[in-house]
C-alpha cells in the first residue's frame, strides 16, 4: 500500500468546489443506474418471474431505499468526510469495519464499472446488426468506449455533468415517448391497475422481482462522493439522494406498468417469454413507429456509456479518497491542475479495465454472460452490503453524540432500513441464479468474493494499526476545518488525527 498521509502543499490543486447542484448530482446517480438498459434488458425477465405485479416490486425497492436515505442523509449533514460509505461505517462501527467497507466500495464500484464494458461491446454489436444486418465483434466498440470514458473522467466534473444530463434526457425521453403513446392509445385492451392488486403482487415470483429491482438502484448512494464538489453540500447531497431514489422508483414502476398495458394484462407474460429482448422494441414499434425502435437501439448504447461515465467518476473519487487516507499509493491522490479532476485515479481505473477486458477477450469469454455478469455481480452485492453496513452505522454514530436530530431519523428509520436491507441482500443472494444464469459453483464463488474482501480489509486494518498507527488513527476522520475539503492528507484535507481522536467514534 503506501505510507502515512502527508499534508498538502500550499498550491496543490483541489477538486472544483461548488461545481455541482442538486440536479447535477442526481444526473450522475440516475445515469449510473442506466434506466433504459434496465427497462429494456431486465424488466422483461421481471415480468416473466413476477407476472403483471412486477411494477410493485420496483416501488417496494424504492420505498426501502428511501427509508434508508432518511438516516443516511441525516448523518451526511454531520459528517463532512467525502469518502462515501466507508467513512460513515468507520465513524459508526469503528476502523476495522471501515477498512473492510473501503475495500468493499472499491470492489463494488470497480466491478460495476469494468464489467459493463462487456455489455457495451455486446449491445453495440446488437445495435449495428439490428440497423444494418451486419454483426461486428464486441471488442472494438468496448475499447473505443473505454477511451471515451477515460477522457470524460479526465475532463472537469462540469463537463461530465452536462454530458450525462444530455444522455439521461435522451434515454428517459424515449421511454416517456413509449409510455405517452400507450396511454394516448389506451393500451391493448384499455388501461387497468390490476398490476397493483394484492393478488398479483403477493405471488411466489415477487422475491425474484425484488432481487432484480434492488439491483436496478445500484449506485444511488454515490451522492455523498460528490460532497467536495457540491454547492451547499448539507442541502444538495440529501436533496439529490431523495430525488434520485424517488425518480428511479416511480419511473421504473410507471414504465413497466405502461408496457404491461401495451400488450394487455393477460398477454404480456407470454410476449416476454417469446421474445424478452424484443419486448420494449416491439412495443415502441407498434405504438410509435419503426424509427423509434431504431432510435431506442442507439440510445441503449448511449445509456450504457452514461452509466460507465457515472461509475467511472464515482470510482475515481473513491480512489482519490483512499489515496489521501494512505491506503492506496499517493500518486492516485493527484488532481489535475486545469480540469481539477482525479486524473491519475481515473487513468489507473481505465488501465485496470483495459487489462480485465483484454484477459476476457483473449480467453474467448462471452462479453455478456461472463465479462458483464461475472464481474458485475460481486460489485452489485458489495454495494448492497455497504448499504446495510451504513444503515447499522447510522444509529451507532448518533448514539454517541449530542446532535439535535429526532429519534425517527437517527434510530427508527435506520433500524427499519437495516432490517429491510438484510432482507434485500438475502433475496439477491438467494436468487443470484436469476441475475447471472451461471452454474451453482460459479454463483457460490461470486457471492463469497464479497465477505472475503471485507475480511481482508479487517485484517489489513489490524496490520495497519500495528505498523502504521498514524494512518490507522486518521482513517475515516473528519477534516480539520470545515472548508478544507480537497487538500491531501485525509479525505477532507485535514491532517491525520491522533490515535483516540474523537473524529472517529470507535477504534
Residue 237 lies inside a defined structural domain of this protein:
yes
Q: What is the pLDDT of residue 395?
A: 93
Residue 501 lies inside a defined structural domain of this protein:
no
Q: What is the pLDDT of residue 371?
A: 93
Using 50, 70 and 90 to split pLDDT, how confident is the model at 403?
A: confident
CA distance 169 to 172: 5
Cell 434506466 -> residue: 35
Residue 105 lies inside a defined structural domain of this protein:
yes
Nearest to 390 by CA among 32, 107, 13, 91: 91
pLDDT digits (tens, 9 = 90+) for 425-484: 998 899 888 888 888 999 999 999 999 999 999 999 999 999 999 999 988 877 654 433
Q: What is the pLDDT of residue 99?
A: 95
Q: What is the pLDDT of residue 18?
A: 65
Q: How many domains does the chain have?
A: 1
pLDDT digits (tens, 9 = 90+) for 350-379: 999 999 999 999 999 999 889 998 999 999
Q: Which domain holds residue 132?
A: 22-474
Q: What is the pLDDT of residue 223?
A: 82
> Which SS3 state, helix, strand or coil, does residue 20 take?
strand
CA distance 137 to 122: 8
Query: Under a CB-based contact definition with an 8 Å cutoff, are residues 382 and 107 in contact?
Result: yes
DSSP 365-423: --IIIIIIHHHHHHHHHHHHHHHHHHHHHHHHHHHTS-----HIIIIIHHHHHHHHHHH
Mean pLDDT (the chain, rounded)? 86
The angle that helices 95-114 and 116-132 make with each other, rounded to 10 degrees, is 20
Query: Under a CB-based contact definition with an 8 Å cutoff, are residues 410 and 76 in contact?
Result: no
Q: Phi and psi of 405, rounded to 5°?
A: -95, 155
CA distance 498 to 470: 7
Q: In whole angstroms, what separates CA 457 from the centre of its chain?
A: 21
pLDDT digits (tens, 9 = 90+) for 178-218: 999 999 999 999 999 999 999 999 888 889 899 889 888 88
Nearest to 179 by CA among 8, 43, 87: 43
Query: Under a CB-based contact definition with an 8 Å cutoff, are residues 448 and 473 in contact?
Result: no
Residue 483 lies inside a defined structural domain of this protein:
no
Using 50, 70 and 90 to split pLDDT, how confident is the model at 68?
A: very high
CA distance 395 to 415: 8
162 contact partners, CB below 8 Å, separation of at least 6: none
Residue 330 lies inside a defined structural domain of this protein:
yes
Burial class (CB in 10 A: 0-12, 13-18, 19+), 184: exposed
Burial class (CB in 10 A: 0-12, 13-18, 19+), 21: middle
- Least-confidence region, from 35-39, 461-465, 493-497: 493-497
Q: In whole angstroms, what separates CA 388 from the centre of its chain?
A: 14
pLDDT digits (tens, 9 = 90+) for 83-130: 678 888 999 999 999 999 999 999 999 998 999 999 999 999 999 999
pLDDT digits (tens, 9 = 90+) for 228-276: 788 888 888 889 999 999 999 999 999 999 999 999 999 999 999 998 8
Q: What is the pLDDT of residue 177?
A: 97
Q: Which three cell numbers stand for residue 347?
A: 487513468
DSSP 80-127: ---STHHHHHHHHH-HHHHHHHHHHHHHHHHHHHHTHHHHHHHHHHHH
Q: What is the pTM of this model?
A: 0.85
Provide the CATH number for the domain around residue 135. 1.20.1740.10
Sign of CA dihedral 490, 494, 498, 499: negative
Residue 14 lies inside a defined structural domain of this protein:
no
Residue 479 lies inside a defined structural domain of this protein:
no
Q: What is the pLDDT of residue 437?
A: 83
* Percentage of residues of the chain with pLDDT beyond 90: 55
Amino acid at each position: 500500500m503506501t505510507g502515512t498521509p502527508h499534508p498538502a502543499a500550499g498550491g496543490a490543486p483541489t477538486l472544483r468546489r461548488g461545481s455541482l447542484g442538486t440536479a447535477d448530482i442526481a444526473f450522475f446517480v440516475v445515469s449510473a443506474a442506466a434506466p433504459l438498459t434496465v427497462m429494456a434488458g431486465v424488466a422483461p425477465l421481471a415480468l416473466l418471474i413476477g407476472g403483471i405485479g412486477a411494477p410493485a416490486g420496483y416501488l417496494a425497492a424504492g420505498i426501502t431505499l428511501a427509508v434508508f436515505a432518511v438516516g443516511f442523509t441525516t448523518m451526511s449533514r454531520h459528517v463532512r468526510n467525502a469518502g462515501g460509505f466507508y467513512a460513515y461505517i468507520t465513524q459508526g462501527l469503528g476502523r476495522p469495519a471501515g477498512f473492510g467497507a473501503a475495500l468493499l466500495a472499491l470492489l463494488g464500484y470497480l466491478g460495476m464499472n469494468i464489467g459493463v464494458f462487456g455489455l457495451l461491446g455486446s449491445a453495440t454489436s446488437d445495435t449495428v446488426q439490428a440497423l444494418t444486418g451486419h454483426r461486428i465483434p464486441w471488442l472494438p466498440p468496448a475499447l473505443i468506449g473505454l477511451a471515451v470514458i477515460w477522457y470524460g473522467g479526465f475532463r472537469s466534473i462540469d463537463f461530465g455533468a452536462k454530458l450525462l444530463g444530455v444522455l439521461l434526457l435522451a434515454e428517459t425521453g424515449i421511454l416517456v415517448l413509449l409510455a405517452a403513446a400507450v396511454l394516448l392509445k389506451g393500451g391493448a385492451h384499455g388501461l387497468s391497475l390490476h398490476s397493483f392488486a394484492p393478488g398479483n403482487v403477493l405471488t411466489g415470483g415477487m422475491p425474484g422481482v425484488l432481487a432484480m429491482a434492488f439491483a436496478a438502484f445500484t449506485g444511488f448512494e454515490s451522492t455523498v462522493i460528490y460532497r467536495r464538489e457540491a454547492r451547499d453540500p448539507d442541502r444538495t447531497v440529501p436533496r439529490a439522494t431523495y430525488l434520485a431514489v424517488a425518480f428511479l422508483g416511480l419511473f421504473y414502476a410507471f414504465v413497466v406498468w405502461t408496457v404491461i398495458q401495451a400488450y394487455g394484462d393477460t398477454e404480456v407474460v407470454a410476449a416476454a417469454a417469446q421474445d424478452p429482448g424484443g419486448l420494449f422494441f416491439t412495443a415502441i414499434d407498434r405504438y410509435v413507429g419503426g424509427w423509434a425502435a431504431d432510435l431506442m437501439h442507439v440510445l441503449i448504447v448511449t445509456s450504457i456509456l452514461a452509466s460507465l461515465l457515472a461509475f467511472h467518476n464515482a470510482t475515481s473519487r473513491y480512489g482519490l479518497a483512499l489515496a489521501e487516507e494512505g491506503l492506496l499509493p499517493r500518486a492516485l491522490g493527484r488532481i489535475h491542475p486545469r480540469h481539477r479532476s482525479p486524473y491519475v485515479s481515473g487513468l489507473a481505473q481505465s488501465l485496470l479495465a483495459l487489462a480485465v477486458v483484454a484477459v476476457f477477450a483473449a480467453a474467448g469469454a462471452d462479453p455478456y454472460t461472463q465479462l458483464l455478469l461475472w464481474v458485475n455481480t460481486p460489485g452489485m452485492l458489495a454495494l448492497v452490503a455497504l448499504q446495510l453496513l451504513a444503515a447499522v452505522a447510522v444509529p451507532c454514530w448518533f448514539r454517541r453524540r449530542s446532535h439535535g436530530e429526532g429519534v425517527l431519523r437517527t434510530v427508527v428509520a435506520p433500524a427499519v432500513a437495516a432490517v429491510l436491507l438484510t432482507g434485500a441482500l438475502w433475496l439477491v443472494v438467494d436468487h443470484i441464479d436469476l441475475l447471472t444464469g451461471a452454474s451453482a459453483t460459479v454463483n457460490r464463488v461470486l457471492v463469497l468474493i464479497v465477505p472475503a474482501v471485507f475480511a481482508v480489509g479487517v485484517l489489513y486494518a489490524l496490520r495497519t494499526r500495528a505498523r502504521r498507527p498514524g494512518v490507522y488513527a486518521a482513517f475515516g476522520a473528519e477534516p480539520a476545518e470545515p472548508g478544507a475539503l480537497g487538500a491531501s492528507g485525509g479525505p477532507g484535507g485535514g491532517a491525520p488525527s491522533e490515535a483516540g481522536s474523537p473524529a472517529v467514534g470507535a477504534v
